[in-house]
Structure 1
Amino acid sequence: MNNISVKTLKERLANNEALHLLDVREPDERNEFNIGGHFIPLGQVMSFQVDDIEHLKNEEVICYCRSGKRSMQAAMMLETMGFTNVVNVEGGMLAWQSEA
């Protein structure tokens, strides 16, 4: 698993890169603030319910949550499922919102 800073992620999005984002937060968190991406809460990832992203096993998948802790767990779990290029957003959406 690799990490990506919020600054780098924002730069890549600003450059219109086609990214595969994975939001592993809970529905109420996503409703409060959302940057897009596939939505699979951590509990579903941990119970192997990732059919919606199976086709991305060999693509870069960038995981994010509120602070970066749950997304790190999700990234590690995805790697055990055979995903080959999983990235964790350092600091999560808290960092995203504080990064100007």
Structure 2
Amino acid sequence: MKRFSLGLLVLLSTLTAPLWAADSISINELKQAMQADKAPIIIDVRDEDEYLAGHIPGAIMVPAKQMDQHLDMLKQYRKQEIVLYCVSGRRASAAATVLEDAGFKKVRLLEGNYPGWSEVQ
């Protein structure tokens, strides 16, 4: 019975754990950094049509599903802070995992993602 309880506890903790390991940054924090000319590298992980419809100024477009194909291009930013965003956070989270697995240490997710950003503009 103890083994069953322990197994159930492990399963529940896995299910309630966050979907991503990366830290987050608020929209206000990002805006302040941008206004102070201390903006992190901002990566829009949405698809091209979404990016072209509107994006955060200065954002680089690297679709989440192609993140692993762009690691060579992105390695120049390995030691810099990187902020990822999409629409809901799922693609940004997946992209953050790819970057973290490739050795990027300062990966953050934008709270509210692009919908949150566009609301305050």
TM-score, reference length from structure 1: 0.88
The answer to whether the Cα contact below 8 Å between 1:6 and 1:90 also exists between their aligned partners in 2 is yes
The runs of at least 4 aligned residues of structure 1 exceeding 6 Å deviation read none
CA contact (8 A) 1:65 1:92 kept: yes
Residue 94 of structure 1, CA deviation? 0.2
Classify the secondary structure of the residue corresponding to 1:49.
Answer: helix
CA distance in structure 2 between the partners assigned to 1:98 and 1:86 by the alignment: 23
- Measure the CA separation in 2 of the matches of 1:4 and 1:21: 11
Report 1 or 2 for greater relative contact order, CA contacts < 8 Å, sequence distance ≥ 6. 1
Match of 1:78 in 2: 99
Q: How big is the shift at 1:4? A: 0.4
SS of the residue aligned with 2:69? coil
User: Any stretches of 5+ residues in structure 1 without a counterpart?
Assistant: none
* Larger-gyration structure (1/2): 2
Counting aligned pairs with the same residue, the percent is 33
Deviation at 1:68, TM superposition (A): 2.2
Deviation at 1:82, TM superposition (A): 0.8
TM-score using structure 2 length: 0.74
**What RMSD over aligned residues (CA atoms) do the two structures have, in Å?**
1.4
The residue type paired with residue 27 of structure 2 is V
The structure in which a higher percent of residues are helix is 2
Q: How does 1:36-55 map to 2 (within 5 A)?
A: 36-45=58-67, 48-50=68-70, 51-55=72-76
